[in-house]
Structures are given as structure tokens and as C-alpha cells.
Copies of this chain bind each other. A is one copy, B any other.
Amino acid sequence: MNRLLTLLLLCIFLENAVSQQKPNFIIMLMDDMGWGDLGVYGEPSKETPNLDWMASQGMLLPDFYSANPLCSPSRAALMSGRLPIRNGFYTTNDHARNAYTPQDIMGGIPSNEILLPENLQKLGYRSKIIGKWHLGQQPQYHPLVHGFDEWFGAPNCHFGPFDNKRTPNIPVYRDTDMIGRYYEDYLIDHKTGESNLTQIFIREATTFIEKQAAQKQPFFLYWAVDATHEPVYASRDFLGSSQRGLYGDAVRELDYGVGQILQKVKDLGLVNNTMTIFSSDNGGATYAKEMGGNNGPFLCGKETTYEGGMREPTIAFWPGKIPAGTVSHQLGSLMDLYTTFTTLAGGSIPTDRVVDGIDLTQALFKQTIIDRPIFYYRGDELMAARWQQYKAHFWTWTNSQDEFDKGVNFCPGEEIDGVTTHEQVNNTAEPLLFHLGKDPGEKYMIKSTSVEYKGVMPQILKIVAEHRSQLVKGEPQLNMCDSSVMNWAPPGCEKINKCLPVPKSNPSKCVWVH
């Protein structure tokens, strides 16, 4: 009996010890930041010393992708480990249209999707999202309903100011309750670009890490900051500090924030037990001109399925586990963080559905390469697929000629005959093929009569056929809009006297122009 008790106590001790060793996870997800925006990824001003240092002590992943060229679907995929076409973050209103979650969207992340923080919550983790959620602004879609324990930030983009009559200002939440609104309590000065939001987001992060360290509870921090998304902003200390203007000021402040967070992790003795990933939700917004990100040598940007739209500036950092100063050409996806983190935490991946994210552990720790494709969706259409160095475009489209003629340009200064098309061109009968190693800018089509094309294309078509055969499309979430679901009277509004009258419901199909 005594021996049994000893054994039992030993088991409890060991379980605790193991649970204490569960790694912490930090995802630093930038908003509209481009592949080429970091010094280490070739930005000429070289103004990201903290990120460059992070890369020098970690692993650079130059072939890492978002799951979509637009924010909401990309983030929904990151959280669910599944392509937007599966988790419902797309529209069928029109073919191959980018859709997201403006505040009149009716949909959001479906309750049957099992998000990364839900997996981690079951395993004893505490998770916090700081910044932009973007998976639905209605309460049933909020972070704390889907596995997060804490939230500081907003459900939508920091657009505005609005008049609070036809359109309410976007609320800022602490956990389940709103605590203010953008442009009322959380200011962004459009004229000067000044806002102290990034500083607040940094403080929220370091405070959360301190608290978790004190409580010895493993954590997942999702740092979803948005200073590089229009309206671009920076705090006073950073304004005018960059060679790149306001956009560069924002990058510099975010880089500073990365340094602050990594330093906090180190100071608290968590550095050997914390995996940090830096990346972005989609390519730089080239249509924003000087106020948009730099996509390096890649074609076009955000909204498109060319490399500029989905190749992300990614760094993985875990001293002692991920070898320092390495580069991995593993084809990676933000969705892989779902599988990798869940696995590292000791959890299991749902088996009742297809999960697109793969476990990157071996690629990160052992520098092995896992053979896997990348799928480039736009709305309901598979536009392109990458296999090894080859990328096949089944459909090409930038935006409509109409919109382009009005000055909206996703590929400013770039025109590639038959590639950057202003009509939706169906190339499925003879997909366009590019070698991204030799031709990162997708400029030089491989002739369909060539031996190379004939060797490669059947491989890609086979992978795509397999993909399609397993595809169960989710119920599209981004079809219907209704001004009554806007942020008129969010939870907690009554406590701070910020409730606005809710208009009559008037649902209609959302209009997605590109």
C-alpha cells in the first residue's frame, strides 16, 4: 500500500514535470506585410535589426505561404489548420472572388471548426489573442468562444472613423466585453499617422507572458498586430524614424516590439521552452503604393495568387531546438502551425476531417524536407498549385479591367502577358507553368511543348486531382451581409455607455468586386 502510494505520488510528480515542460507558443502575425519587408529578406533600408537577429538565431523559411491572399480567410486557415474552402471562409457569390469579414458580414468561424487554441486549452494551455481577430464580429464567433482565454483587440480592421449612424466605429475588446472604440478611445490620426496602438499591443504581450511565467502555465500568444495595414500607423517615437516613410515607421515599431517580446521571454527564463514564429497574413498591399509592403522579387501582391500575394516573411525561433542561422526551403503554410503546435503540445489532430496543415517538426528541428504541395485559392477557385519548384496556374486574374481603369492596381508597374490578366482566364486545359527557383517573378512561362513541362505537369495534375477528390467544401460564410449585424451594441457596451441603436435586419448578398 505504501509502495502504491509512492508510485501514485511519483506519477503525479512526473505528470506535473511533463506538463511544466510543455512548450510555449508565440505567433507574431503581421498584417499585409510583404516577403521583402525585412532586412533579412532584402529590404534595402535594412531597418529590422531585431527580426534580422531573430533569423540569425533561428531559421529562415523563404518558401512559407499563407493559405490565402486575403486577411480573414488566411487567419481562419491559420486557426483551423484547414483551407478556407473547407472552413467556409469564402464566397460563392461570384467566381474566384476574394471575400473577408467587414463588419456587416453575417458569417464567421463555424462552431464545428476546432481551432488551435481549443486543442491547446484541453492540454492545459492558456491562450491570448492580441490585436485583430477577423473571424467574425458577431459574439458567437468571438475568440473566447473558440478556445482563447484572453483577448485584447478588435474583431475587424481598424478602418474609420465612422459616423456611428450609418456605420459604427469598430469596438476594442478586453476578453468578452468591449472596452472602447477606435477613433473614440483608441486613436489613429490619419493626417500624421500617429497611434500608440502598437505600444499597447507590446505591453499586452509582455504582461501576459509575465503572468504565465509566474503561474508556470504553458501559453499560446497570438500577437496579431496591424500597424502595416491601412491606415498605417506608428507611435510618436517612431514617426519619421524610417527611410521608408510612415510604412517603414510602422515596420520599425513592430520590429522593436518583436525585440521586446523576445527579450521578455529570455528574461523570464523561458527561451529554451518557447517556440516563436514570425510571419504575415498575406502579401504586401501593392495597390497602396508607397504605403504598401515590399514583396521582394515576387509578382504582384495581396488579393492575388501570384507569389507576391501569398509568400510570407517567415522566421522560426526556438534556441536549443531549431538550429541557429539556418535556412529551410521546406514548403510551409501558416496552416502547419496548427498541426505542429498541437503535436508539440502533446495533443492530437482531428481525424474526422481533412486538416491541411502538416507537422513541421522534422523540417524545423532536423532540417529534413517534407514533400507537399501548396494550393493557391481565391474564393471558391483553385487558381494555382506549387509542387517543389514548379507552380502551375489553372486560372489567372489580377482584377477587372473596369476596376483597373479606375486606378486599383494589384500589380503596379508589372505586366506579364497572359499572366497578369484583367479577365478571369481559364488555363485548366493547358496550365501555365513556372520554375520559381529560376524565375521567382513568374515572368518566363515554360513552354507546354517542352520536355520539362511534359514531365512536370502530370505530377501536378495528379496532386490536384487527389486534392479535389478529398475536398468537402464548407458552408460558405462570406456570402451574406446585413448592416444590423454591425458593431452597434457589442457585449459590454452598456457598461461604458457605448451602445448604439441597432437598425432593422436587411440581409443581402455581399458584393465582392475582386
Residues of A within 8 A of B (CB): 36, 39, 41-46, 56, 60, 62-63, 242-245, 247-248, 289-290, 294, 296-297, 299, 327, 329, 389, 412-416, 435-441, 443-444
What residue of chain B has the Cβ atom nearest to residue A416's Cβ?
A: B413
A44 to B296, Cβ gap below 8 A? yes
The 8 Å CB contact of A46, one of B327, B416, B441, is B327
Contact B43–A42 (Cβ < 8 Å) = yes
Do B437 and A45 have beta carbons less than 8 Å apart?
yes
| Chain B neighbourhood of A437, CB < 8 A | 45, 242-245, 248
Q: Which 3 A-B pairs have the closest CB atoms?
A: A42-B42, A243-B437, A290-B438
B243 touches A329 (CB 8 A): yes
A348 to B131, CA, bound (A): 60
A290 vs B247: C-alpha distance in the bound complex, in angstroms?
32
Known: A413-B416, A441-B413. A62 touches B46 (CB 8 A): yes
Q: A245 to B438, Cβ gap below 8 A?
A: yes
A152 to B440, CA, bound (A): 36
Which B residue sits closest to A389, measured CB to CB?
A: B243
> A443, B42: Cβ atoms under 8 Å?
no
CB atoms of A443 and B45 under 8 A apart: no
Q: Are B36 and A297 within 8 A (Cβ)?
A: yes
Inter-chain contacts of A327 with B (CB < 8 A): 39, 46
Write the chain B residue with the least CB distance to A53: B325
CB neighbours (8 Å) of A289 from chain B are 439, 443-444
Chain B positions within 8 Å of A389 at CB level: 243
A-B contact pairs, 6 of them (CB 8 A): A42-B43, A44-B63, A44-B440, A289-B444, A413-B415, A414-B414
Hey, which chain B residues are within 8 Å of A413, CB to CB?
Answer: 299, 414-416, 441, 443
Q: Are A415 and B415 in contact (CB under 8 A)?
A: yes
User: CA of A43 to CA of B327 in the docked complex: distance in angstroms?
Assistant: 12
Inter-subunit contact A297/B44 (CB<8 Å)? yes
B438 A42 Cβ-Cβ under 8 A? no
Q: What 5 additional pairs, Cβ within 8 angstroms, besides A42-B42, A46-B327, A247-B438?
A: A41-B42, A44-B440, A56-B56, A242-B437, A413-B414
- Collect the chain B residues with CB atoms within 8 Å of residue A248's CB: 437-438
A61 to B329, CA, bound (A): 27
Residues of B within 8 A of A297 (CB): 36, 42-44, 294, 296-297
A309 to chain B, nearest CB (A): 15
Q: In whole Å, how far is A261's beta carbon from the nearest beta carbon of chain B?
A: 22
B42/A435 in contact, CB under 8 A: no
In the complex, residue of chain B having the shortest beta-carbon distance to the beta carbon of A415: B415
Given A46-B60, A46-B62, A435-B245, the answer on whether A412 and B290 have CB atoms closer than 8 Å is no
Enumerate chain B residues within 8 angstroms of A439, measured Cβ to Cβ. 289-290
Q: Is the CB of A435 within 8 A of B44?
A: no
Q: A44-B63, A414-B413, A443-B412 are in contact. Are A438 and B296 (CB under 8 A)?
A: no
Contacts of A243 in B (CB 8 A): 329, 389, 437
Determine the distance from Cα of A63 to Cα of B296 in the docked complex, in whole angstroms.
Answer: 17
A443 to B295, CA, bound (A): 14
Q: How far is the CA of A439 from the CA of B44 in the complex (A)?
A: 10
**A244 in contact with B438 (CB, 8 Å):** yes
A405 to B437: give the CA distance in the assembly, Å.
28
Please indicate the chain B residues that have their CB under 8 angstroms from the CB of A63 in the complex: 44
A440 & B294 in contact (Cβ 8 Å cutoff): yes
User: Which of B296, B299, B436 is A296 in contact with, Cβ under 8 Å?
Assistant: B296
| A415–B411 alpha-carbon span in the complex (Å) | 10
Give every chain B residue within 8 A of A56 (Cβ-Cβ): 56
Q: Bound state CA distance, A7 and B313, in angstroms?
A: 64
Contacts of A39 in B (CB 8 A): 327
Counting chain B CB atoms within 10 Å of each CB, the highest count among A62, A329, A413, A437 belongs to A413
Q: How far is the CA of A415 from the CA of B443 in the complex (A)?
A: 13
